[in-house]
Amino acid sequence: MCPGSFDPVTNGHLDIVGRASKMFDEVVVAVLINTSKAGLFTVEERQEMLAEVTAPYANVRVDAFQGLLVDFCQANDIGAIVKGVRVAGDFDYELQMAQMNYGLGAIETLFMPTNPKYSFVSSSLIKEVAKWGGDVSPHVPDLVANLLRERLVKP
């Protein structure tokens, strides 16, 4: 599985999903439901975006989860989590999460280095640039670029 907030999904996310889809029979892209944090897009909107942009991958399905990731994995017979790692700070954080997930439910985590052309791309940065009218189209799917313009750019 590839978990995340995906608010919004970026080309970096899609690169990891696409690469994971070549390694596993099925990949679940799961949107974290975080009720304590207001997202730009609702969970349902993020799921719809992900379903559309991952449609070319026949073995990818989109879902959402709330609570412990290991509980979702165990309930859905998922044995591995795939996480993209951009920089050393990502690895430091994700290693702690991986160790906790293994301790809680023996779920393995595989770290996949991000393609260098996406190493600086994050959903937060994309939203910030889009908010000020910057062109984010090289970094997100066309669908997402259009939705960001509709949601953030004031006429």
Annotated binding-site residue numbers: 5-6, 13, 37, 69, 83-86, 94, 118-124
Taking Cα atoms as reference points, which of 136, 70, 148, 145 lies closest to residue 109?
Answer: 70
Q: Which residues are annotated as a binding site for substrate?
A: 5, 37, 69, 83
CA distances (Å), origin 8, targets 25, 37, 41, 75, 123: 25, 14, 7, 26, 6
DSSP annotation string for 38-76:
--SS-HHHHHHHHHHHTTT-TTEEEEEE-S-HHHHHHHT
* Catalytic residue numbers, as ranges: 13, 37, 86, 123
Q: Which residues are annotated as a binding site for ATP?
A: 5-6, 13, 84-86, 94, 118-124
